[in-house]
A and B are shown apart, each in its own frame.
Chain A
Amino acid sequence: MKAGHKFLLGAAVIVGSVGFLIAEGVKETGVYFLTPAELSAKSSADPTFAENVGFKVGAKVVPGSVRRDPNARTIDFQVSDGIKTYPVTYHGLVPDTFTDANDIEVVVEGRLGRDGIIRATDVLAKCGSRYEAVPKA
């Protein structure tokens, strides 16, 4: 066997394992990224979906729905895309960008309980408009 062929064999092993790791990684760790409307469609089509499969929901926080309990470090709020609204509960610290302003976009990662409440494992927030949300003092 020539060195070139041996190398090709080694290369095939590397390329194969990279491919395998990627495919396996996506299968094991990939989560759906849905809007509330899509989540609603998915969970009504397959009732076990919401409980068994982790997902992320990207939506806006419903203004005025934020309830913080600093002692328990729990935060409850509702997210909506204008079509469907879901209540969310999260235990943990939310980032600075999660404010009580009116137009914050969040990405909530978690699972949907039978009671229709999303139990979040992670909350990311992004301020929709950096310059217009300056409240008058």
Chain B
Amino acid sequence: MTLLGQFALWAAFLLGLWCVTIAFSGRWRRRPELSQSVIRSVYAVCGCLLVASVALWKGLISHDFNIEYVAAYTSRNLPSYYIFTAFWAGQKGSLLFWAVVLSIFAAAAQLLTSRRYAYLMPYVAGVTSAVVVFFVGVMLFAADPFERLGFTPEDGRGLNPQLQNVGMVIHPPMLYLGYISITIPFAFAVAALLSRRLDTGWIHAIRKWTLVSWLFLSIGITLGMWWAYVELGWGGYWAWDPVENASFLPWLTMTAFLHSVMIQEKRGMLKRWNLGLIIGTFLLSIFGTFITRSGVIASVHSFTQSNVGYFFLAFLVVGAILSFTLLYTRWSLLEAEVQLESMVSREAAFLFNNLLFVGIAFSVLWGTLFPILSELVKGTKITVGPPFFNRVNVPLGLLLLALTGVGPLIAWRKASTANLKRQFIVPAASGVLTLVALLALGIRDLYAIMALALAGFVAGTIMQEFYRGVRARRRMHGESTPVALVHLIGRNRRRYGGYIVHAGILIYFVAFAGMAFKREREATLKPGQSVELSSPFGHTYRFTHVGISQYEALNRIVSAATVEVAKNGRRAGLMSSEKRQHVDSFKRPTFEPSTEVAIRSNLQEDVYIVFAGAVNGTEEAVYRFNVNPLVWWVWFGGLVLALGGLITMWPGGGPLAVSTRRVQAGYEAALVGAAKE
């Protein structure tokens, strides 16, 4: 099977090279059979990589430990679903996973894009194939997933226990899907530049793709937070680690892009900026892979580090030079069609939103790279950590949250005073009321107060938008409220799906603010001893150590420490946190011991217990107890955001659908009518 796999990789490599060469030579413009050939080779590359993937899965499933990758990441006693996901557990498999998924996306882009954009497609094929060729090349020349060992080990080394978690089964592929799908919008942008067809055509062609990759990135990041929270055991979900930052960076610029393309569509402005953003987003996704794989920046996440990182660095530099040079040569074709008319307009709000997104991205990039930069400039390494990122990004994030409430309320072009008054009274009142309530409750943390009050304001904005939309439909069509709501969203998916995404973001902010009030206590307890911890919501928890039990499970030896939890004096149940020593099928330990956190979650707060170890083999246990407020809302915010994202990208009902236009016209007529009253 490895021979077949390697053969398939070589075939993909050569076919990809053919595609790239023909696509960029431009010869296909006069010869339709060549343009056919370019597009067919995209499908062929996809087929080859599917074959290679099946070959790797076959090796994993049949425990062929003669294959280095199989021996390194699986073992006989590994549960079968982890054998399946071991495909992307290691670097070499990740590269193959990346290549095959990109080739599937590339083929889908060719299949699904409307014939209207046929003039772009061979260039798109060329760009996607160039990226695929790079990944396949790295595998062929530096990290062959089918490499065989000189001997066959009896058993493999097994999967890192921290990766043996449901979150880890879905999180990496989600994040990868996000990273990988960025290539498609990037390819369309480059194709538009190469073909000099720089109207909004390419933007319409990639609308769904940008939403897809944004959605995958969002889900991937949220799942990553969840995994870090339940698996790493330090009590939080975001630590501004370089690896986390690497996933956050393209998300930021992609989000900026999703907003700024609306200005280009409606007003013909920001053409250069949009191209710059999408190129930047693509480069940041490659940069993320570079820093996680090269080890140039120390991270607590231990990825395999190898010279593969430097392939990515080279690719990053070449990609940046080529795409920005291309953008520069088309500069004069990208004049804005109109100028900004007023500072008090939707356009201006979006511009500031974009500046803030890019500002945040820049500060995160700067902080991540600072150890390297300071060493280059001053000769000493200086690092910055979470305090830096919070100091810089909390104020910027709050400004952005405020704009989330402002943007949807301001008219395009130029907002009148009457418009402002009409739009802002309810949301502003909602914000002020929240503020007063918070102060009355005695909350004094400045940033938390600001976050929650602004959340109140944004919630006011979103509810007002839904309320007015529903009211307009009820008047126009005589529908009942629930029907009107469903139709409102269904017929105007982009707008109301967007508002639902905003609601998700708002929930995140509230949840993040909650973490400002977390409580923590460490204790060493003999069986029967207990400690108390009071929560920010005023509950008192009492933790009584019951004892430590030891047992063997499928592929691990477990020490479980059990605590009886009482909440406000009433028994709330037992919670067990475990120390696991994973073993291979000969009962030899593999990896360092890992901790399994005990979490009990409700809408207010999580009780989070970490068993840090037993005292000298006795039943005396060392614990850390946390009460983490509002964590559940992070995951719920993620769900709301994903739902909103799905609504905006659901097929059909695009901006051209007649029903939508009619509803919009109705809504606007109602607005005008109301304004005149």
Contact = CB atoms under 8 A, between A and B. Distances in A.
A29 B384 CA distance: 6
B356 interface: yes
B150 to A, nearest CB: 16
B355 A99 contact: no
A67 interface: no
Nearest to B299: A126
B383 A30 contact: yes
Nearest to B370: A26
The 6 tightest CB contacts between A and B, nearest first, are A33-B381, A18-B359, A70-B615, A29-B387, A21-B392, A29-B388
Given A15-B359, A25-B363, 12 more contacts: A3-B348, A7-B343, A10-B348, A14-B356, A18-B363, A21-B363, A26-B370, A29-B391, A93-B610, A99-B593, A126-B302, A127-B592
A129 B615 CA distance: 27
B384 A26 contact: yes
B392 A22 contact: yes
A21 B391 contact: yes
A95 B384 CA distance: 21
Contact of B362 (A18, A24, A25, A101): A18
Interface string B289-328: 0000000001010101000000000000000000000000
* Range class of the A interface residue count: 35 or more
A95 B382 contact: no
A96 B595 contact: yes
A28 B324 CA distance: 35
14 contacts: A18-B362, A18-B392, A21-B392, A25-B392, A26-B384, A30-B374, A31-B383, A71-B620, A73-B612, A96-B595, A131-B157, A134-B589, A134-B590, A137-B587
* Range class of the B interface residue count: 35 or more
Interface of A is mostly: mixed
B589 A34 contact: no
A70 B343 CA distance: 62
Interface in A1-35: 2-4, 6-7, 10-11, 14-15, 17-18, 21-22, 24-26, 28-34
B478 to A, nearest CB: 42
Interface stretch (B208-216, B334-342, B490-498): B334-342
Interface string B556-592: 0000000000000000000000000000000111111
Chain B CB within 10 Å, residue with most, of A4, A92, A93: A93
Contacts of B157: 131, 134
Interface of B: 72, 157, 160, 233-234, 298, 300, 302, 304, 339-343, 345, 348, 351-352, 355-356, 359, 362-363, 366-367, 370-371, 374, 380-385, 387-388, 391-392, 395-396, 522, 524, 587-595, 610, 612-616, 620, 622, 624
A65 interface: no
Interface string A34-75: 100010000000000000000010100000000000110100
B342 to A, nearest CB: 5
Interface in A76-134: 92-93, 95-97, 99, 101, 107, 124, 126-127, 130-131, 134
Contact of B366 (A22, A70, A136): A22
A77 B648 CA distance: 55
Contacts of B384: 25-26, 29-31
Contact of A30 (B234, B302, B343, B388): B388
A93 B374 CA distance: 31
Contact of B355 (A2, A15, A71, A96): A15
